Structure 1
């Protein structure tokens, strides 16, 4: 293997990334094509995998290069799938809006990007915080009802809602 990296993970250098790309890109692309079944999506995710590795800045242990690349690619496949589900739901919603009330193409794109950011924000929340937030905002439950349903105290519900509000503010570009 021409990958000249230390025996443990460390900072990623340009030469190492170049070697990693040359040695594993073809394998990763084939691996993705078999899983996705679409050459264009596989190529996009393959490139995004190496970009993510570059942005991360750390070199994988040489013996674990393929598993590390596969792990990054799996996360990107999940992201792609979730985005497509959101896009489909958004397009279904748009199809039901009378044409005269439909948002402009620019507004549609902004709304879709906001939905993707909100979905990612919800996914990053701890499970109890997310569940508390969703029960409050989408089910309309009171803090007391949420506390009873989740077997937690009302002060804990308040704490979780504060964390959720901070996440929302950060997601929307405010200060949290």
Structure 2
């Protein structure tokens, strides 16, 4: 299957509401493209296989949370699709929580306003931290979610470090 790459700013109807707002306000959005995909192929492995893309170009966004002194701390972690976020060590230490775990899916969907399988670092709640594994910034053309399952965003990986509040960490993923 082929993907039709379109300028994201001209096709905000293909992305989730919070993502559209974030792109409209982001100075680098003119370098972001969007492509429609089959919603049942939103899973990274299925998408890359069906469209002939590399896992090394895809980045997954996972939401992690933990508590310290009764205060909940949440972070979105962006890692290359061939790796996994180091939740039990680096993420836990970075959030300064006793135990870090994946944020409940229903809460992640509700709090982001995005669909499960489409959560992306664009348009996250302002009080969430955004942790990027430094390897995603080295991807030539990174593929990330669009807030919905029916499309993906494509942009130079280095621009991910320019997202508001982005914290680039070495070895965020293993």
Band the TM-score falls in, shorter-chain normalisation: under 0.3
TM-score (norm 2): 0.23
Instruction: Considering fraction of residues, name the structure with more strand.
Output: 2
Instruction: Considering fraction of residues, name the structure with more helix.
Output: 1
TM-score (norm 1): 0.23
